[in-house]
Amino acid sequence: MIKAYKNEDTNYLLIVEEIKRANVAAVFGDIFQLLDRDSNGKSEYEITTSKELQEFLKKELEGVELSENIKNKLDDDFSKIFLPSNFYIWATMNSADQGVMPMDTAFRRRWEFTYLGINDASDANKEEFENYRFKINSDETVNWDQFRRKLNEKLSLINIPEDKLIRPYFISKSILEGDDLNKLTETIKNKVLMYLYEDAAKAYRPDLFTEGKFSTYSSVCKNFDENTLSLFKGNLDVETEKIYKDDNIQDDLKE
């Protein structure tokens, strides 16, 4: 915010991830009152600064050439603060997640909300997600996004709530973009299967997994390695692609 005061012609953005993971009233404190913005985007009201904050503002801003608009709002002794129109706050939250802190109506109404669907990220980056493939057995691969969508369809059919579904970047982008097919496959096995088995579908294992293949977590992993799609009840209808091996390389390896 100090930078926003100093550079009124430059926009600044503060990003708060998973805002409901904390008690927002405690985190924002008196700043809560500044979230009401006027038609120009600046706070409708100012709040009085603490002695410590006042000293900090003096240290950072005294002698700096500020616009008249900023100076008038802060007062000469920096006893007030406000959110300038070039200072934005964006936050993310999973509105369906029940295991987090509640957010009261007074706080909510001070924000504009944009809903991001579970497939929005991959829909907006189709070319990127076309390249992410992993092995379902020793001879075939499938596309990660297609697999994830089909898996989500099955999860929805057995009444798994939306906040438990698999999102496009459930596997980190750095892993998805890597050149190591085996590493991506192992990551999906270790991360997705553990999540399904121990969390999302823990109470629905017979509805999700093929009978006889889910008695233990180790058996789930074993069946994933042998044939990923058949691990799931009724199979997953995902287009597969053959892994073509270079015969010359295989011959060299044998030698």
- 130, 53 contact by CB (below 8 A): no
Could you tell me which of 21, 43, 40 has the C-alpha nearest to residue 32?
43
- 144, 177 contact by CB (below 8 A): no
Read off φ and ψ for residue 143, nearest 5 degrees: -80, 135
- What pLDDT shows up at residue 254? 44
In the numeric block, which tokens belong to residue 213? 């293949």
User: Domain ranges in the chain?
Assistant: 8-108, 120-254
Average of per-residue pLDDT across 157-171: 94
- What pLDDT shows up at residue 163? 87
34-86 pLDDT per residue, tens: 999 999 999 999 999 999 999 999 999 988 899 998 988 998 899 999 999 99
Read off φ and ψ for residue 87, nearest 5 degrees: -115, 115
- What pLDDT shows up at residue 53? 93
- 148, 155 contact by CB (below 8 A): no
- 23, 6 contact by CB (below 8 A): no
Residues 172, 174: Cα–Cα separation, whole Å: 5
Question: Has residue 253 got a pLDDT over 50?
Answer: no
Enumerate the β-bridge partners of residue 150.
none
206-228 pLDDT per residue, tens: 999 999 999 999 999 999 999 99
Enumerate the β-bridge partners of residue 88.
13
90-135 pLDDT per residue, tens: 999 887 666 677 888 888 899 999 988 999 999 999 999 999 999 9
pTM reported for the whole predicted model: 0.76
Computed over every residue of the chain, the mean pLDDT equals 90
